[in-house]
């Protein structure tokens, strides 16, 4: 899966997983240690596209849309903040616009990355705070 292929920066049993360095327990199609996978990050991870009640359309599957949608990864002033992590070259304009529209329609906030740069979508105060936190090198979620 895209998450285990290294597009999400995670640590699995002491092994760093990041772009170009996939999880050593992934066959590329399934988890080789599924029954023994760790609580964090594996068992607690929920891909927004796979959630049974997911509002995401089929075309937003991570390997098709080139984005992993992580719903409500943290809160800002009591509002959920969704995160969109690019897969490969990242999402195209259609995908990015869909995510922004979804955030607007559902009164959610969004943090997403394009071309190695992170952006915040929401009210100006949210955008300013996220930019400040990222500039300080803080981990957002």
* Euclidean distance between CA atoms 66 and 108, whole angstroms: 21
pLDDT score for 41: 86
* Cβ atoms within 10 Å of 126's Cβ, excluding its own: 18
Element (H, E) at 133: helix 124-135
Q: Which of 5-9, 16-20, 93-97 has the highest mean pLDDT?
A: 93-97
**Stretch 5-26: mean pLDDT:** 86
pLDDT value of position 84: 94
List the beta bridge partners of residue 79.
76
- Contact in structure between 6 and 27 (CB atoms under 8 Å): no
Which pLDDT tens digit goes with each residue over 86-125? 988 888 999 999 999 999 999 999 999 988 889 999 999 9
Query: Which two structure tokens, joined as six digits, stand for 97?
Result: 């616009």
Q: What is the pLDDT of residues 52-70, one digit of tens each?
A: 888 889 899 888 888 999 8
Confidence of residue 18 (pLDDT cuts 50, 70, 90): confident
Q: Once rounded to an integer, what is the mean pLDDT over residues 42-56?
A: 81
**For residues 21 and 49, what is the distance between their CA atoms, to the nearest angstrom?**
23
Non-local CB neighbours of 51 within 8 Å, separated by 6+ positions: 71
What are the sequence ranges of the domains in the chain? Answer: 1-45, 46-141
Pairing outcome for strands 10-12 and 15-17:
antiparallel
């Amino acid at each position: 899966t895209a998450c285990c292929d290294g597009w999400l920066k995670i640590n699995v049993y002491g092994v760093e997983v990041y772009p170009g360095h996939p999880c050593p327990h992934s066959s590329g199609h399934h988890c080789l240690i599924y029954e023994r996978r760790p609580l964090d990050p594996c068992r607690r991870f929920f891909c927004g596209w796979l959630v049974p009640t997911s509002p995401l359309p089929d075309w937003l599957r991570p390997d098709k849309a080139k984005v992993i949608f992580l719903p409500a990864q943290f809160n800002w002033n009591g509002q959920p903040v969704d995160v969109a992590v690019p897969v490969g070259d990242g999402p195209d304009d259609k995908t990015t616009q869909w995510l922004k529209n979804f955030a607007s329609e559902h009164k959610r906030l969004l943090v997403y990355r394009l071309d190695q740069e992170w952006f915040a979508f929401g009210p100006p105060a949210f955008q300013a705070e996220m930019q400040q936190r990222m500039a300080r090198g803080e981990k957002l979620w």
